[in-house]
Amino acid sequence: MAITITKAEIKRKCMIPAAETSHDSDIDALIAEMQPSIEYTVADEYLNDTGNTKLQAVLKLGMLEIMSGELLQQLHREEGASEVFSVGSISIGSRPELGSKLIQQGQMRLSPYLKVEEASADDSGIASTTRDAERTFTKESMGTW
Q: For the segment 69-122, what is each residue's pLDDT rounded down to a tens digit?
A: 999 998 887 555 555 656 777 766 655 577 889 999 999 999 999 998 755 555
In a domain, 59, yes or no: yes
In a domain, 144, yes or no: no
In a domain, 56, yes or no: yes
pLDDT of residue 136: 65
Residue 90: strand, helix, or coil: strand
In a domain, 34, yes or no: yes
pLDDT of residue 79: 53
In a domain, 132, yes or no: no
pLDDT of residue 21: 93
- The alpha helices in 16-52, defined as continuous H runs, are 24-41, 44-47
In a domain, 135, yes or no: no
Kindly report, residue by residue over 14-70, the tens digit of the pLDDT: 999 999 999 999 999 999 999 999 999 999 999 999 999 999 999 999 999 999 999
pLDDT of residue 53: 95
In a domain, 119, yes or no: no
Per the CB < 8 A criterion, the answer to whether 31 and 1 are in contact is no
Mean pLDDT, rounded, for 131-139: 64
Per the CB < 8 A criterion, the answer to whether 113 and 43 are in contact is yes
Range of the domain at 24: 7-113
DSSP 8-state class, residue 3: S
Where is pLDDT greater, at 131 or 100?
100
What total number of domains does the chain contain?
1
In a domain, 145, yes or no: no
